[in-house]
A and B are shown apart, each in its own frame.
Chain A
Amino acid sequence: MKRRQELGLGLLGVLLAFGVCEAVSRAGIVRRSYLPPASEVLSRALELAGDSVFLDGIGATLRAWVLGLGLACAIAVPLGLLLGSVPLVDAAVRAIVEFLRPLPSVALIPLVSLLLGSGTETKVALITYACVWPILFNTIYGLGETDPLAKDTLRAFGFGRLAVLLRVELPGTAPFIAAGIRISAAVALILAVATEILAGFGEGLGIFIAQASLSTDGTRDVLAGVVWAGALGLVINGVLVWGERRLFPWTPEQRERAAAYRGRGV
């Protein structure tokens, strides 16, 4: 199948889904206050793009997202490099990590809001906690995958441990770190919205959704907020995937895709 055909089919699928939602609501199969017609939700979402209060909310959510994700990178990448390159430290810390990781981060919301109140700090702290794990594990995993031959060569030339780390291991691990950051980006959005919905006041996308759900017939606004949240998630993911492809065109996934294209004779 050609790329254009695929895009065409995808567009058709989107239109079909849209049409079904519209029809189900218009035909009165589901109560209108439960599922407003898709066109109304979409026009409300577009209308919100001109609403400065709403945009400020989006800005607040994105600010927490950036801060939390940035902090998580600053903690997880060096820590991952340390754990991945010194087996003794890794073995020592592994148990603690294994006990912290399975804790669902949403469950920390009550504790952290008791400690830090319900402002940006709470959001950032929770996002950081949740985002550290994917980046940390991808860094450790990536270090294990670096080319041993390149490392040995550099060592043979008399380069020290740090030089090997900076010249071979870090560049080799970068694609894995990037993949970890992409996973964390989605997690960060989940945490930002979840914390805001539970806080219920202040500003942010989650707060818009929470307040809309309390008003009568607010489903249209809630769904418009959800459309925005989904669009944000898609854009963030798209940008990160694009960046990864530009920066690391040699990663296994890329090679696989190239091989697949060759196999199809494109």
Chain B
Amino acid sequence: MSRDGAVAVRGGGVRQVGRVAVGGVLLRWVVLAVAVGCWEVAARAHDSVYFPPPGRIADHAYELWFSGPVRQVFLTDAAVDNIGPSLGRMAAGFVIAAVAGIALGVAVGRSRRTYALCNPVLQFARAVPPPALVPVFVVVLDFGTQMQVASIAFSALWPVLINTAEGARNTDPLRLDVAAVLRLNAVERLRFLLLPSALPRIFAGLRLSLSLSLILMVFSELLPGTANGIGFTLTDAQSRSDLLTVWAALVLLGALGYLLNTGLLAVEKRLIGKGRPI
């Protein structure tokens, strides 16, 4: 993209840059539409049970979740009962992980000694594939929201923690000296120095944690013994060989993942500003 932009600028002005960008966007959507169209045609021609045409998936998703009464903002009971709890658990787990991760990360990263002390343990915790720990949470907390939130929070904690610690550790020593000269107290140092300099790293960690939360949200709901959630919808439909619902849930999860990631990127852009690539 940037290469196209540069060429266009040399070629003569803003108008051309705009045209190139519009062309690119148009091309993307056209290709996507053509791909979906091909799938639709092929699926209708083959009439395969496993790959239903996208049109029917969209219809089914609409019927299933978005054809409700106005007072529920068009959400059906199925949507309220399954999407709501899923999102709530994910949000709770992610927020706990983010707050705890940033706080602990700053604490660990502030001194080289604490960092060296904690690093091996943190590296091990990060190396454990998160789903492996979910059975432990099931034993300790039993099935239900508590277990799910705990496994999401525990898995999403490590990327934020480790990245924040790295970020805080790599604060410019010159700035630390300036802070000492200006006699900033601990809170001011945190507010004006450590957090801003760790912010790009923190967001890199948060992005990893967000996708881990989504993964763990789905995984913890896929386990037998859960009663609601998008993951439950998936396994339930799987056990009934209801492929349309399986596909609809997949599309929903993809859209959710896209929206969450875009949202976090927007927040990141506001807080860090442009021109600081990580």
User: Using a CB–CB distance below 8 Å, which chain A residues touch chain B?
Assistant: 1, 5-6, 9-14, 16-17, 33-35, 87-88, 91-96, 98-111, 113-115, 144, 186, 189-190, 192-194, 197-198, 205-206, 209-210, 212-213, 218-219, 222-223, 225-226, 229-234, 237
Q: Is B144 at the interface (CB under 8 A from chain A)?
A: no
Q: A115-B50, A232-B127 are in contact. List 19 more A-B contacts (CB 8 A).
A: A9-B113, A9-B116, A33-B139, A91-B24, A92-B27, A96-B32, A102-B257, A107-B234, A109-B222, A111-B243, A111-B250, A144-B3, A193-B132, A206-B131, A222-B135, A222-B136, A222-B139, A223-B136, A234-B124
A125–B211 Cα distance when bound, in Å, is 20
In the complex, are the beta carbons of A96 and B35 less than 8 A apart? yes
In the complex, are the beta carbons of A102 and B131 less than 8 A apart? no
Residue of B nearest to A35 (CB): B140
Which residues on the B side are within 8 Å of A92 (C-beta)?
A: 27-28, 31
Select the residue from A91, A189, A212 with max chain B CB neighbours within 10 A. Answer: A91
- B28-43: which residues lie under 8 A (CB-CB) from chain A? 28-29, 31-32, 35
> Which of A16, A34, A198 interacts with B140 by CB under 8 Å?
A34
Residue of B nearest to A10 (CB): B120
Residue of A nearest to B255 (CB): A102
A-B pairs with the 6 shortest C-beta distances?
A: A102-B257, A233-B127, A213-B135, A95-B28, A110-B238, A103-B254
> Which of A16, A34, A91, A113 interacts with B27 by CB under 8 Å?
A91
Q: Is B235 at the interface (CB under 8 A from chain A)?
A: yes
User: Using a CB–CB distance below 8 Å, which chain B residues touch chain A?
Assistant: 1-4, 24, 27-29, 31-32, 35, 50, 112-113, 116-121, 123-136, 138-140, 211, 214-215, 217-219, 222-223, 230-231, 234-235, 237-238, 241, 243, 246-247, 249-250, 253-258, 260-261
Compute the total of residue contacts between A and B using a CB distance below 8 Å: 170
> Which of B27, B32, B139, B222 interacts with A213 by CB under 8 Å?
B139
Which residues on the A side are within 8 Å of B123 (C-beta)?
A: 234
Select the residue from A9, A225, A237 with max chain B CB neighbours within 10 A. Answer: A9
Which residues on the A side are within 8 Å of B113 (C-beta)?
A: 1, 9
Which residues on the B side are within 8 Å of A1 (C-beta)?
A: 112-113, 116
Which residues on the A side are within 8 Å of B120 (C-beta)?
A: 10-11, 13-14
In the complex, are the beta carbons of B235 and A110 less than 8 A apart? yes
What is the minimal beta-carbon distance from B123 to any residue of chain A, in angstroms? 7
Task: Pick 10 A–B contacts, CB within 8 A, sort by A.
Answer: A94-B28, A96-B32, A102-B255, A103-B253, A106-B222, A111-B238, A111-B243, A114-B238, A114-B246, A229-B128
